[in-house]
Amino acid sequence: MPYRDRVRAELELSGLRRSFGSVVALDDLSFSVPSGQVVGFLGPNGAGKTTAMRAIFGLTDLDGGTVRWRGQSIGAEDRRRFGYMPEERGLYPSMAVGEQIEYLGRLHGLSGSQAADSVRTWLERLDIGDRAASKVESLSHGNQQRVQLAAALVHDPEVLILDEPLAGLDPSGIDAIGEVLVERARAGCCVLFSSHQLDLVEDLCEAVTIIDHGRLVATGTVDELASSGPRRLAVRVEGDRDGAWASTIRGASVSQVQGGEVRLVLESTTDSDTVLAAARSAGRVTEFVFDRRRLSEVFREATTS
Amino acid sequence: MRAIPYAIFAALVVFAISRRLRRRRNQEQAGPPTRQYYLSSLLGHTGLVAQREVRERLRGRFFRVITLVLLAVVAAAIVIPTLHSSSKSSQTVGVVGTASPALRREVDRLARNESLSVRVVTVADLETARLQLSSGRLDLVINGTTSILVNKPIPATDTSAGAQLARSLAATLGVQQTFRAAGLSTTQIAQITQAKALPIRSVQPGSNRSTAQSTSLIGVVLVFVMLTQYLTWTLMGVMEEKASRVVEVLLAAVKPIDLLGGKLLGIGLVALFQAGLVVAFALILAKAVGSDLLHGTAPLVVVATLIWLVLGYAFYSWVYAAAGSLTERQDQVQSLALPLSVPIIFGYIISLTAAGSGNASVLVKVLAFLPPTAPFAIPTWVALGGIAWWELVFSAAISVISTFGVARVAAAIYRRAVLRTGGRVRLRSLLAS
């Protein structure tokens, strides 16, 4: 059973269309986000990811289509229970961290004491508990990013929509934020985040949705997408860094050459022995294995086809 | 001496405010406490946004500096004329030699005409009189039938009660002296000098016009300074929220109209608070120093100024907020601020000229019904007299209705423009999208 039919879709985007003049940002885009999973939202620059995320929050006028939450057309009250981290970070630069997150918590419907408690909890959790009284502008980029995430989490949202939450972070920052995303998903939250760091997405996400030119081009669990498609071989020839030997093989195309490892996509009629013979003619073969698709390959193949 | 209780009161207020600010600073150093959002229980999200705005604005140094400058300007406008005219409500008049009962009665009568209480004392000789005038114990001295002595020359422009008393004493005693020399009896002289003047009746109604005019001049300048200041806050505030991108986070939780409405309400409350503070300060100070700035129809001018300051802010703030949402840089703001301020400057100059000339021209009357210029034209027209109550109501109604219309358009522009980044947004492109 395909992924989209198997999971319980809580947040559904259906037939979204949006144009800015002659530029089509969303072209009948439909996908859904289940609860309990971290879903990666991928696409090349200008694919329409940010417009789609904004559409969830009603921040852009749609030319057509609907966003539904738990089967109902989404409303302002539903959105107030969502958490959002926009692509371009936004906080009041000269306002104290704690006060600012508390204010945002209040806007999302928390009482004064609930907001204050939640601020303390999240700042501690994200290792910036000692910066509550600091102005946002005095914080490092990484810590500002943590504050931004705390602002999205302060009201314990049912849905987390994060646009490039990992951009510009050091490994410890990526670990801290990644851990929180997985934890929220395990707690029953819908988590959708966009990123260009495909290795990280592969590590963090159960599922991915890929769009291009405002259209859905692939969706499914990481495992499904990785094991689907034509067979591929990873071959390494001693002393050969650029894999020139592979370019002439009939019935196989080079998917990627990285650090001397050549990844080949085989047509269904192509015999792997043909590839092995070609590799041997170039030198001593040190690696020859059938492999799954990497997410970067899924992405590239989906967005260039 | 009468100013002492007011000075003590003002000192207590300043002390209480500074103590509160110090305590708050200490609290902030200790860590952020839970913020109380009183307005939110009344107005929901709009109240929350408004309250944050009020707190941030009041906390800013700019607010404190501009308030102090305004208070200093108002204090100067009230105190300097009274210093210049050496106005006092009681006078001590010295008489060299003996003061006859007739002379005392005459001095009393003339003082009453000027609404002054007067104390007549005798002075042994001219030298003592001069000394007591120099030391301020005497305000003027009647030197027999030869002259009236004062400490400093009285300029022709001095219209204070003390100056008027000196002039009328000099004139009356001089006339009496002439009548005596002409051989009239004391009774005849008294009859002539106490003759009642014919009443002067004006065709147009109105009283104490010059005082109301001065008040309106100060009022028009205050409206201009405060409108300019608060509208700049609105413009910059919206622009900064767009530039810092915080607006996207806010709009994910709050409707655009609530966010914008809260922001404008917050800045408006700060404006009203500042205006109230300035007016209260002006009233207390005017009373303390015996200024005549608030006599006659002047209180009506003050009330009209405050009401149209609020109406003017309400109207313009939406326009400025919409303009702010089109920009995200200081230079873009400046290129928009100039054309927006043209009607403000126009209304200000026309009204100021009219208030100075004492004539409510047809242009002022027309401008009084146009929402962009009414905040300046109405106080001026009220001060100059001749405005009917229905005209005030009509002008206010036009402002309120226009404000609703402008708010709708501004909110639509704001909603579409505030998330568009990467350069100044053109209105044409908003309509096309």
Q: A20: which chain B residues are within 8 Å (Cβ-Cβ)?
A: 433
CB contact under 8 A, B37 and A112: yes
Give the per-residue pLDDT at A22. Answer: 84
B143: enclosing H helix or E strand: strand B140-143
Q: CA-CA distance, B322 to B134, in Å (whole number)?
A: 63
Please list, residue by residue across B63-82, b when 16 or more beta carbons sit within 10 angstroms of its beta carbon and e when fewer do: beebbeebbeebbebbeebb
- Residues with Cβ within 8 Å of B396's Cβ and at least 6 positions away in sequence, in order, are B307, B308, B311
Question: For residue B84, is pLDDT > 70?
Answer: no
Quick check: helix, strand or coil at residue B290?
Answer: coil
Give the per-residue pLDDT at B8. Answer: 65
pLDDT band at residue A67 using 50, 70 and 90 as cut-offs = very high
CB contact under 8 A, B253 and A98: no
How many contiguous H segments (helices) and E segments (strands) does chain B have?
16, 4
Q: CA-CA distance, B221 to B225, in Å (whole number)?
A: 6
Strand A215-221 with A207-212, pairing:
antiparallel
Six-digit token string for A304: 């260039």
CB contact under 8 A, B252 and A103: no
The mean pLDDT value of chain B amounts to: 82
Q: B241: which chain A residues are within 8 Å (Cβ-Cβ)?
A: 92
Question: For residue B208, is pLDDT > 50?
Answer: no
Residue A156 main-chain phi, psi, to 5 deg: 50, 65
| Residue labelled with tokens 């170039």 | A282
Q: B248: which chain A residues are within 8 Å (Cβ-Cβ)?
A: 54, 59, 84, 86, 88, 90
How confident is the model over B80-101, as a mean pLDDT? Answer: 74
Give the per-residue pLDDT at B34. Answer: 54
For residue A209, give the nearest of A12, A17, A1 by alpha carbon.
Answer: A12
**How many Cβ atoms from other residues are within 10 Å of residue A116's Cβ?**
21
Give the per-residue pLDDT at A225. Answer: 83
Six-digit token string for B168: 């009328």
CB contact under 8 A, A84 and B249: yes
For residue A94, give the nearest of B27, B326, B60, B268 by alpha carbon.
Answer: B60
- Concatenating the DSSP letter of every residue in B74-125 gives HHHHHHHHHHHHT--SEEEEEEES---HHHHHHHHHHHHHTT-EEEEEEESS
Question: For residue B1, is pLDDT > 50?
Answer: no
Give the per-residue pLDDT at B294. Answer: 61
- B411-425 residue pLDDT tens: 889 988 888 776 677
Q: CA-CA distance, B387 to B378, in Å (whole number)?
A: 9
Question: For residue B11, is pLDDT > 50?
Answer: yes
Six-digit token string for A285: 């073969």
Query: Rounded to the nearest 10 degrees, what angle do helices A97-107 and A112-125 cross at?
Result: 130
Question: For residue B234, is pLDDT > 80?
Answer: yes
Six-digit token string for A96: 């104290």
The partner residue sitting opposite A90, judged by closest CB among B31, B48, B249, is: B249
CB contact under 8 A, A76 and B416: no
Where does residue A182 rank: exposed (0-12), middle (13-18), buried (19+ CB within 10 A)? middle
Quick check: helix, strand or coil at residue B44?
Answer: helix
Q: Out of A89-93, A161-165, A255-259, give the one with best mean pLDDT.
A: A161-165
CB contact under 8 A, B35 and A91: no
For each of the domains in chain A, give its residue range(s) and CATH number, in order of start. Answer: 3-226 (3.40.50.300), 229-304 (3.30.70)
Domain ranges of chain B: 1-34, 45-82+209-432, 88-193
The mean pLDDT value of chain A amounts to: 86
Three-class HEC string of chain A: CCHHHHCCEEEEEEEEEEEECCEEEEEEEEEEEECCCEEEEECCCCCCHHHHHHHHCCCCCCCEEEEEECCEECCHHHHHCEEEECCCCCCCCCCEHHHHHHHHHHHCCCCHHHHHHHHHHHHHHCCCHHHCCCEHHHCCHHHHHHHHHHHHHCCCCCEEEEECCCCCCCHHHHHHHHHHHHHHHHCCCEEEEECCCHHHHHHHCCEEEEEECCEEEEEEEHHHHHHCCCCEEEEEECCCCCCHHHHHCCCEEEEEEECCEEEEEECCCCCHHHHHHHHHHHCCEEEEEEECCCHHHHHHHHHHC
Give the per-residue pLDDT at B313. Answer: 93
A113 touches chain B (CB under 8 A): yes
Q: A26 pairs with which residues across the strands?
A: A18
Residues of A numbered 153-212 whose beta carbons fall under 8 angstroms of chain B's beta carbons: which are they? none
Six-digit token string for B103: 């002379």
In order of A76, A90, A206, B342, the CA distances from A53 in angstroms are 15, 16, 19, 41
In order of A30, A177, A189, the CA distances from A34 in angstroms are 14, 20, 9
Residue type, A138: S
B5: enclosing H helix or E strand: helix B3-30
How confident is the model over B327-334, as a mean pLDDT? Answer: 81
B221, B383 in Cβ contact below 8 A? Answer: no
Percent of the residues in chain B that have a pLDDT greater than 90, as a whole number: 19
Q: What is the DSSP-derived secondary structure letter of residue B20?
A: H
For residue A154, give the nearest of B259, B49, B36, B253 by alpha carbon.
Answer: B253
- Residues with Cβ within 8 Å of B53's Cβ and at least 6 positions away in sequence, in order, are B237, B262, B263, B265, B266, B267, B270
What ranges in B194-329 are assigned the alpha helix state H? 209-243, 246-251, 256-288, 298-325
How confident is the model over B224-239, as a mean pLDDT? Answer: 89
Which residue did the predictor score with more confidence, A225 or B8?
A: A225
Question: For residue B396, is pLDDT > 90?
Answer: yes
Distance from the Cα of B331 to chain A's closest Cα (Å) equals 20
Q: CA-CA distance, B49 to B53, in Å (whole number)?
A: 6
Question: For residue B30, is pLDDT > 60?
Answer: no
Six-digit token string for A46: 């200008």
CA atoms B170, B172, B177, B182: torsion sign: positive
Q: CA-CA distance, B58 to B15, in Å (whole number)?
A: 17
How confident is the model over A270-293, as a mean pLDDT? Answer: 84
CA angle A164, A215, A267 (to 5 degrees): 100
Q: CA-CA distance, A275 to B380, in Å (whole number)?
A: 94
Q: A68 pairs with which residues across the strands?
A: A12, A73
**Total residue count of chain A as it appears in this document:** 305
- In chain A, which residue's Cα lies nearest the Cα of B47? A107
Six-digit token string for B252: 């994910």
Q: Does domain B88-193 have CATH number 3.90.1300.10?
A: no
B293: enclosing H helix or E strand: none
CB contact under 8 A, A102 and B35: yes
CB contact under 8 A, A59 and B248: yes
Give the per-residue pLDDT at A191. Answer: 93
- Supply the Cα-derived Rg of chain B in whole angstroms: 29
For residue A240, give the nearest of A297, A288, A279 by alpha carbon.
Answer: A279
- Residues with Cβ within 8 Å of B338's Cβ and at least 6 positions away in sequence, in order, are none
Q: Record the pTM.
A: 0.72
Q: A61: which chain B residues are within 8 Å (Cβ-Cβ)?
A: 416, 433
Give the per-residue pLDDT at B88. Answer: 58
